[in-house]
């Protein structure tokens, strides 16, 4: 983030405005609406500025700019067609530690003015950091249609009742829940209709009948990595959560969508590294939910595909904690699609099996005979550390050593890599592959060369890997 977003209170504060033409006029209108005390430096005043001067809304300092004009102002705006004068205003402001905005010149700006959707007192600002004001205005127009005109009226009513709600409902999270439910209720409809007395009556009734909300847990699939693969329900859940318990495989982009004031707790598991035990994760889910908080258990991929979501749901059911499941795109679907490898194809695979390289330590063996069948795709999660054993068992039970394979690392992310070869090469390929990685075994892996579409189509064959050693 190149700019820190901030809303400034300009009521009664002096602002220096260099210029009194058409562009400066637009700036002055916004500044006046914000309650600023405008001091104008310009050779001449256009009709609008002259009217404001006659009405006592602005002060005209004269035609010549002096650095001292900046001594006691809050900020400055340079909006003339004289580049040298604009630069002089900016440099003088910099020397005095004053914020300065220069119209249409990002290099001479210590702050920028965003495109604004105004639903007073609600304001939504959109900025491109000065790189593309036209694009920012385009998105303002789009968002403008999505924000109801009565939003400001709802905010005004909420403002009048804020202290009463605070006195009646203890705890920030419970108050947030009350307001969210209110804004999604009949209160919004009544406000939109202009029935403001009825809307306030509805607010009063909901406050009088308020009961503390029960905690709940959402087991949410974050998908394989690309934030664009989040479902709408998943995004809504993590943005509403009070607490998020997240896996190591959840990408930074997805975590950035979590509400800023939510409590974020890493419970991730990585092979060979210290991690939170599953029992501790279960305990935290129950504890936070019993505190009345909205909890999200955020998992890479899908919660019910090698994600222990079923175990966690059982714990929640036994503890009588309300819960819901929000599926995600599992790695076998996302990573292979981004790699250009179909899981099934009429010419070479009529079925696909998903298996994990990890299981309970009870000594039981996988059904290697079934796993080794031809004309099927075998997708192995978390299996690179056991690639030697998996390869030997598949060959021993009848799978050809020349079966095509692919190892996909960081699937769906910009740094995704795909390494291909034959089953006999799998241990070496897996050893060199960055983790997390997904192993794909089957004839469909040969379609990678034809169907690759994502990123730079980076692929390394077993031969290329050998040459690199």
Pick from 404, 412, 467, 469: nearest CA to 437: 412
Pick from 350, 380, 386: nearest CA to 440: 380
For 129, other C-beta atoms within 10 Å of its C-beta total: 14
Which helix (H) or strand (E) covers residue 188, if one does?
helix 186-192
- With beta carbons less than 8 A apart as the criterion, state whether 264 and 258 touch: yes
Tell me the C-alpha distance between 22 and 449, whole Å. 58
Write down the catalytic residue from 138, 264, 269, 386.
Answer: 269
- With beta carbons less than 8 A apart as the criterion, state whether 420 and 405 touch: yes
Backbone angles phi, psi at 306, to 5 degrees: 55, 30
- With beta carbons less than 8 A apart as the criterion, state whether 266 and 276 touch: yes
Strands (E), 137-230: 216-221
Question: Is 269 an annotated catalytic residue?
Answer: yes
Write down the catalytic residue from 226, 242, 247, 425.
Answer: 247
Backbone angles phi, psi at 177, to 5 degrees: -60, -40
- With beta carbons less than 8 A apart as the criterion, state whether 188 and 150 touch: yes
Q: Which two tokens stand for residue 444?
A: 């469909």
How many angstroms from the chain centroid is the CA of residue 7?
A: 22
Pick from 420, 432, 444: nearest CA to 350: 444
Tell me the C-alpha distance between 158 and 34, whole Å. 21
Residue partners of 3: CB distance under 8 A and separation at least 6 = 111, 112, 127, 129, 130
Please give the positions annotated as active site. 247, 269
């Amino acid at each position: 983030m190149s700019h820190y977003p901030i809303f400034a209170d300009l009521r009664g504060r002096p602002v220096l405005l260099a210029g009194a033409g058409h562009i400066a006029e637009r700036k002055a209108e916004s500044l006046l609406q914000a309650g600023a005390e405008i001091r104008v430096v310009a050779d001449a005043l256009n009709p609008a500025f002259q009217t404001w001067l006659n009405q006592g809304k602005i002060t005209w300092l004269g035609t010549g700019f002096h650095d001292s004009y900046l001594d006691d102002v809050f900020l400055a705006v340079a909006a003339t067609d004289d580049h040298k004068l604009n630069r002089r205003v900016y440099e003088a402001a910099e020397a005095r530690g004053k914020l300065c905005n220069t119209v249409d010149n990002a290099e001479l700006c210590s702050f920028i003015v965003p495109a604004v959707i105004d639903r007073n007192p609600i304001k939504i600002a959109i900025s491109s950091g000065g790189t593309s004001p036209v694009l920012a205005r385009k998105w303002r127009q789009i968002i403008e249609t999505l924000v109801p005109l009565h939003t400001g009226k709802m905010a005004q009513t909420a403002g009048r009742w804020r202290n009463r709600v605070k006195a009646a409902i203890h705890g920030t999270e419970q108050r947030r829940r009350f307001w969210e439910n209110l804004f999604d209720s009949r209160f919004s409809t009544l406000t939109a209709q202009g029935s403001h007395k009825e809307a306030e009556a509805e607010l009063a009734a909901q406050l009088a009948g308020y009961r503390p909300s029960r905690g709940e847990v959402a087991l949410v699939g974050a998908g394989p990595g690309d934030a664009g693969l989040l479902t709408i329900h998943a995004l809504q859940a993590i943005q509403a959560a009070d607490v998020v318990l997240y896996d190591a495989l959840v990408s930074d982009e997805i975590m950035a969508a979590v509400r800023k004031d939510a409590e974020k707790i890493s419970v991730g598991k990585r092979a060979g590294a210290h991690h939170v035990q599953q029992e501790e994760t279960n305990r935290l889910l129950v504890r936070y939910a019993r505190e009345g908080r909205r909890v999200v258990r955020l998992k890479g991929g899908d919660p019910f595909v090698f994600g222990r979501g079923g175990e966690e749901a059982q714990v929640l059911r036994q503890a009588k904690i309300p819960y819901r499941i929000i599926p995600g795109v599992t790695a076998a679907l996302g990573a292979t699609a981004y790699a250009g490898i179909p899981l099934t194809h009429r010419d070479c695979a009529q079925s696909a099996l998903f298996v994990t390289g990890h299981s309970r330590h009870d000594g039981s063996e996988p059904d290697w005979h079934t796993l080794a069948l031809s004309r099927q795709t075998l997708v192995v999660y978390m299996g690179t550390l056991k690639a030697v054993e998996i390869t030997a068992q598949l060959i021993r039970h009848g799978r050809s050593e020349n079966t095509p394979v692919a190892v996909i690392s960081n699937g769906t992310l910009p740094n995704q890599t795909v390494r291909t070869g034959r089953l006999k090469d799998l241990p070496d390929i897996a050893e060199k592959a960055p983790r997390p990685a997904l192993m794909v075994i089957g004839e469909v892996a040969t379609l990678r060369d034809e169907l690759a579409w994502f990123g730079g189509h980076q692929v390394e064959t077993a031969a290329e890997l050998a040459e690199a050693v």
